Structure 1
């Protein structure tokens, strides 16, 4: 039976945003392939952004190696690569807007002072409780954030349970939650496709978009790759660096983990051929509602 042609979206703009803090691995490849296939299958653009705000964790030369690895796997992007470290003035303007709206406060709390479930109890909402350097938090409303995730379905979060999120760290660096909202708006991103480990960040980002009067993109959270036993990927195993000499096989494995049903013959094909197949056969229903997938055990094929 012939596959019905997928409706193209001329306005589709997707992105992949790795951090240059280590080598790309299988989990990274699944996220990259998922966002690439979703964009290209709809005739959209696929942008690349380096999330290099945390200078203390950036590894010299890692960004360039990441670009070369993506090229070796056939994952070519549109336009110039954007670097967060070159866009801090935009984050400063967004922070100033939030401050003018009375939506921020200074917080002296440490990680150890959070709730048992990791949430923030609002300790410093009326002022820092101790002296010294402070972080800036975004003051959230007591409301429910609902959105329809293209892969996970309806998602509902109570903002006050999530707590007031940090948008500027105590060392002065802008935090991920603010930067990603500003970046997606500036780049005109319409569809955010990323791992399900970031699903819990989405309500904060939607709240920030509303406060800053920025558009909210469509969200699609891909299954997170774990160890065969369900634990986070271990560096000694599946999170080892990708091997461009085995690009076809590793792209095949990424598609298998996304339940796309790639034929075994793709293992020996070129990256361009594997990705051509992926874009022509991309089906979200194959992982609808799936939050995590387990990597194959060592020696399994």
Structure 2
């Protein structure tokens, strides 16, 4: 099964939010990286048939998704950036309600809800009202509801917002296992969300794809553009103000190691080092701000 984006475009008045993007997506995790405002959410809303494209198509197995209607939507799982919930429902009640909307019988809906709440670490909180949940707990509930119908296509828009580091690891492991025979699109501006689980990365900027490939292929585009500079500690802040600095590591002897992303050596004595996905992200958006 393949999901094809064919010259997909969305225009709001004079502003083009998504500009003729094309890609063919296969089972596995595709990470969609981009700064806020790059067009990621608009693109994902079109993939999920929440927003109609100005032009272009979404095709599933060669069939137009819009013409498939409910048949296509039944194959989808979607977690938007701000998913809606009923605050006075318990987590289990909310899951069973969503299961009913997706056509589950009462018995099957309850069993599936209990299973997923356990998988996302909410089994002990299943009878607590959602309004008492932390932001991270609500996000895990959102992930659970998106997976209710065992979707063939799972679309996750900034899914780890509000999760602590331990929860992020749990989420990544959950998605990696789920994606073995599913198409998963994970949109984020947080590099670590996709660094270890994505088999393919699309980098989006100003409504279009500017990079596409495996993590290794994408990272290779930053080769020869990442430098480490050993400087006196008081110079590190000055460097951060005038060049794209990925990281500063201070030493006890009053010196610092400054990691800089730049096309050429930023100073005498700088050493070229192996790039990471975070370096690549900084390179792609160095003049757009880091958000």
Q: TM-score range with shorter-chain normalisation?
A: under 0.3
User: TM-score, normalization: structure 2?
Assistant: 0.25
TM-score by length of 1: 0.24
Q: As a proportion of its length, which structure holds more strand?
A: 2
Structure with larger Rg: 2
